[in-house]
Structure 1
Amino acid sequence: MQPLALWPLLLGLSLAGDTQTLSTYDEGGGVEGTVGPSARPTERRLDRTVGPRAYPGHPRANDSGTLDLPASSQELLLGWVPTRLVPALYGLALAVGLPANGLALWVLATQMPRLPSTVLLMNLAAADLLLGLALPPRLIYHLRGQRWPFGEAACRLATATLYGHMYGSVLLLGAISLDRYLALARPLRARALRGHRLAAGLCATSWLAAATLATPLALQPQTFRLGDTGRVLCLDALPLAAQAAHWRPAFACLAVLGCFLPLLAMALSHGATLRALAASGQRCRHARRLTALVLASALAFFAPSNVLLLLHYSDPSPGAWGDLYAAYVPSLALSTLNSCVDPFVYYYASAEFRDKVRARLGRRPPGSGQPGSPGPATRSSSGL
């Protein structure tokens, strides 16, 4: 089953994946400038027109499934960063994110009151969990020295699910911040607006937006042989014409709509919530610390990769950004580590939630925590 298609189980919606194969609180992705021996003069002109994007490929005249790269790009593509650092980051996201989010989802679904905030947190945990499940193919690819063994259809699916689940997490973070703003800064209005219907609507909108933004990533060929090396790349080298015509608008929409707008919504919502708490005379030192942690982690994990992505496709002039893609690959892997941070910010920061986890693991009988200790639907919501 496709990982991105698992979310309808929560919302009653459906998503069909592309399988085409290429023949080659409630309250509480030679020499420099040269191409392969079979490259045509028109391709050289295209290189001067479009400019050196990160790992731009020149299809051979008699083999469109093979791309020739400059020597400097090949060195970056096969260096220690993509073959050692990147898989280490993916491995860390797997080792921490899978158990942390899996346990959080289990406790939220079985032990916590089914409040609107719980529904939102369950969807966030599911998105982070599914992101972890989408990482193994990329991890294997990088550990094999940039050799994709699974075929064209699997490459397209791996790309769409990786980006879809990651940006789905960002959109859900924005939805959670909006819900908490209503609960804490507009409590009277929240009585009429907040509820399971609004929570389900925010979740459905986030999942649908993520699926819509990720779908174009599965519509173009992505596996190409790297010159005469025998390596089959997945997404890391693409024809210049396809980069300008298809990938630039697709990734621009993904970065702006899937990252920067949710981050802006988070900043505005949390800022307004803190102002409302301060104006009401409530002590919000704990709230400020948690808000700073949430915003700082979101910016640190998501902003670098998306800024690099926009710069990468922004200027077609020769030499504008050089081999900027070499920096984008590790920054994309860094973005997946946010799935490791979310559980400890939104769930495990709650004393009641930790008590529930201990109870489910048999370390402490249920209800043995401090009386009245707030859970993720109370203290966390107030703090964030």
Structure 2
Amino acid sequence: ISQGIIFVSLLIFLLVGSLNGRQRTFVSDTVENKTVVEKSVTDYLASKFNTMVIPSLYCIVLLIGLPANALALLILITKTKITPSTIFLINLTLADLFFILLLPLKISYHFLGSNWLFGEALCRIYIASFYGSITCSVFLLMSISIDKYFAIVYPMFSRSFRNRSKATFGAIVIWILALFSIFPFLLSQQTLYISDVNITSCHDILPREEQNSYYFHYFLFLVILGFIVPFLVIIFCYISIIWTLSMNARSQFRAKMLSTLVTITFLLCFMPSNVVLVIHYSEFHASNHSDLYVSYMVCLVLSAFNTCIDPFVYYYISDEFRDKVR
């Protein structure tokens, strides 16, 4: 099952990556000290899809993800034995909760027609935190798969280093890496006032020169480090786990279920947005500026829904967590 998912996913990645791209964010030009954007851009920003559908989907994420992750965190901290795996799960829950608590800002922004009312500084912090929490969650999902890999494939060998102190250190390193990964957002302007429609965008519309240079290497770095590497590591770990447990039919079934669940979750939530980034920067100068942006908004919602799915993943990953829920 998992091998088939891997093959189909990689095939989709290659096919989509070969399509003629558009771009991930809108761009603006400056003419006589006035910010100029295309009419199709302003039409989209005022559309019902952007001002109603997108924020409504984020509201669903907020309503489901907040109580689910709060309950998961409570159970993990108070009712489960603190193991290396539990430490990574606790940090994953914290990253998801941090992301969810930021959503009211994004929801209000979209309901107001992509009009940011909270200033440049908070826009930078919000965008950096938005992407940083996603990056942190991806790294933690990868760490959970690595921990399971050593626990099952090399149980005796891993006893010497699979302990709470090492897991805590690993979690701290992940948070630091996620923090460093968001610095480009903190160091560059993210808001832009569009006088034609009297709104201030937050990250949605960026100067063309920044799109061409500043973000090119940065988003390429994020795609490689924040998706491709974790994806390959997760696939390797769970295939190895299935292979190791193949002699036990019951264990093999559970391992396949776990591998399939985590792989599908990872691909559905994080692959689309990263594919869009690859397409965007492979052919930046395409003429149509808006069609791929709509796709990217949907992809970001998919990434957000990962915070709702994670607590249910815990149910399959942790026997003790499952027992406490019961």
Match of 2:215 in 1: 247
2:25, 2:206 within 8 Å by CA — same for their partners in 1? Answer: no
Give the drift of 1:193: 2.3
Match of 1:9 in 2: none
Unaligned runs of 5+ in 1: 1-50, 358-368, 370-384
SS in 2 for 1:158: helix
**Cα distance in 2 between the residues matched to 1:81 and 1:306:** 22
Work out whether 1:100 is the aligned partner of 2:64: no
Work out whether 1:266 is the aligned partner of 2:237: no
Give the drift of 1:186: 1.0
SS in 1 for 2:301: helix
TM-score (normalised: structure 1): 0.75
1:137-286 alignment to 2 at 5 Å? 137-279=105-247, 283-286=251-254
Give the drift of 1:54: 3.8
Match of 2:312 in 1: 344
Match of 2:87 in 1: 119
Match of 1:366 in 2: none
1:45-56 alignment to 2 at 5 Å? 54-56=25-27
**Cα distance in 1 between the residues matched to 2:268 and 2:293:** 18
**Cα distance in 2 between the residues matched to 1:258 and 1:113:** 30
Give the drift of 1:126: 0.7
2:42, 2:197 within 8 Å by CA — same for their partners in 1? Answer: no
Aligned residues between the structures: 305
Match of 1:314 in 2: 282
**Cα distance in 1 between the residues matched to 2:201 and 2:251:** 54
1:54, 1:325 within 8 Å by CA — same for their partners in 2? Answer: yes
**Cα distance in 1 between the residues matched to 2:157 and 2:264:** 29
Match of 1:59 in 2: 30
Structure number with higher relative contact order (C-alpha < 8 Å, ≥ 6 residues apart):
2
Unaligned runs of 5+ in 2: 1-21
**Cα distance in 1 between the residues matched to 2:224 and 2:174:** 14
- Percent identity of equivalent pairs: 37
SS in 2 for 1:194: coil
**Cα distance in 1 between the residues matched to 2:46 and 2:242:** 47
TM-score (normalised: structure 2): 0.87
Structure 1 pair 139–185 and aligned structure 2 pair: CA distance change class (3 A): same
Give 1 or 2: higher helix fraction. Answer: 2
* CA-based RMSD: 2.1
